[in-house]
Amino acid sequence: MRLPPRATLGLLMLAALASAGCRRAAPAAALAEVGREPRAASPDGARVETVAPRPAAGRWDDADRDGIPDRAELRTFSDRESFRRWLTGLAEMQFYAPSREWNEGQRDCAGLVRFAWREALRPHDRAWFQRMGAGYEPLAPEVRAYTLERGPLGEKLFRTAPGAFEEADLGADGAFSEYADARTLKEFNSEFVGRERRAAEPGDLIFFHRPWVQKYPFHVMLFLGPARVEAQGGDDWVVYHTGASPGDPGEVRKVRLSLLDRHPDPRWRPLASNRNFLGFYRLKILR
């Protein structure tokens, strides 16, 4: 379905980002959100899929000790690519046609990532498309490893504490939650890739640190790479929510990194020379 055109972010709009920082929604509202919300070449030149070893049934290993159980990691190239396409496509769609399934109390920078992540893992059947609203269409094959409802972590997708994974982390007072703010996404659910954009892949997270903001100093954006809609020949698109404040619900914006490079406030420029720009991070389930 062709979406109605919508103007992307200009320099005048960029100036508003600094005053519309990402504020997290209250964790108590997370339950409402949940309720709504490499290949290698073979000798003959054919493409064959490289598959990481699967964990043995019944075991809760964490081979790389990154805090995420091996069962929750997407271990095939095809699953990682499918997840990236669903994640980025769903996040981008919130700029054009915000889904009624995205709880309004969870609309902030981290909430956009949580919503797209969660919905990327759901079965995308006819009922799902009807719930999401007009304008949504298939984006990629389904992730085959697991679905949200039958996954190893269930609705508690997000790690909230340091350390290697232990089975006790899955308990009621464990280290996983339905909710994660921008800092939690950075510290416990993703790993640093670099500060140069040539290392970024679609689905990576981009973090900024704003020490002048006392309560919620971290801000997150999602790197799209080539946009699915209105790409305009660019391969450096990002999407993010500005965050809500009293009297202002904020909004989703879509912009190119090359435009952010010229942000009127240098603290918002995604450049290695900017100490407030923390860099690109990759979700641990994709590592």
Number of Cβ within a 10 Å radius of residue 70: 20
Residue 38 — pLDDT band, cuts 50, 70, 90? very low
What gap in Å lies between CA 270 and CA 222, rounded to an integer?
13
- Asked whether residue 54 is assigned to any structural domain, the reply reads no
pLDDT of 244 reads 84
Chain segment 134-180, per-residue pLDDT in tens: 999 999 999 999 999 999 999 999 999 999 999 999 998 899 999 99
For residue 163, being part of any structural domain is answered with yes
pLDDT in tens, 124-134: 999 999 999 99
| Packed helices 182-189 and 109-120: angle between N→C axes, nearest 10 degrees | 50
Res 21: pLDDT: 54
Q: Are residues 122 and 35 in contact, defined by beta-carbon separation less than 8 angstroms? A: no
Is 234 contained in some domain?
yes
Residues 6+ apart with CB under 8 A from 119: 37, 86, 90, 99, 101, 132
pLDDT band at 36 (very low <50, low <70, confident <90, very high): very low
CB 21 within 8 A of CB 267: no
Q: Worst-scoring range by mean pLDDT, 33-37, 70-74, 271-275?
A: 33-37
CA distances from 16 to 47, 141, 235, 268, 277 (A): 47, 37, 24, 11, 17
Task: Please check whether residue 50 lies inside any domain of the structure.
Answer: no
Residue numbers of the domain that contains 18:
11-37+60-286
Instruction: Look at residues 81, 86, 79, 153 and name the one whose alpha carbon lies nearest to residue 116.
Output: 86
274 part of a folded domain: yes
Length of the chain: 287
For 36, the 3-state DSSP assignment is helix
34 has pLDDT over 80: no
Phi, psi of 176 (to 5 degrees): -130, 150
Instruction: Give rounded-to-5 percent helix, strand, coil for the chain.
Output: 30, 15, 55
Residue 141 is encoded by which pair of tokens? 């094959």
Looking at residues 13-20, what average pLDDT do you find?
46
Dihedral of CA 280/52/152/141: which sign? positive
Contacts of 283 (CB under 8 A, 6+ apart): 117, 189, 190, 203, 204, 205
Q: What is the pLDDT of the chain when averaged over all its residues?
A: 86
pLDDT tens per residue, range 172-195:
889 999 999 999 999 999 999 999
Asked whether residue 49 is domain-assigned, the answer is no
Residue 47 domain-assigned?
A: no
Instruction: Note whether residue 191 is domain-resident.
Output: yes
Q: Say how many domains are in the chain.
A: 1
Per-residue confidence band for 49, with pLDDT thresholds at 50, 70 and 90: very low
Q: What is the pLDDT of residue 23?
A: 55
Q: Are strands 47-48 and 40-41 parallel, antiparallel or unpaired?
A: antiparallel
In the block, tokens 């697991």 appear at 146
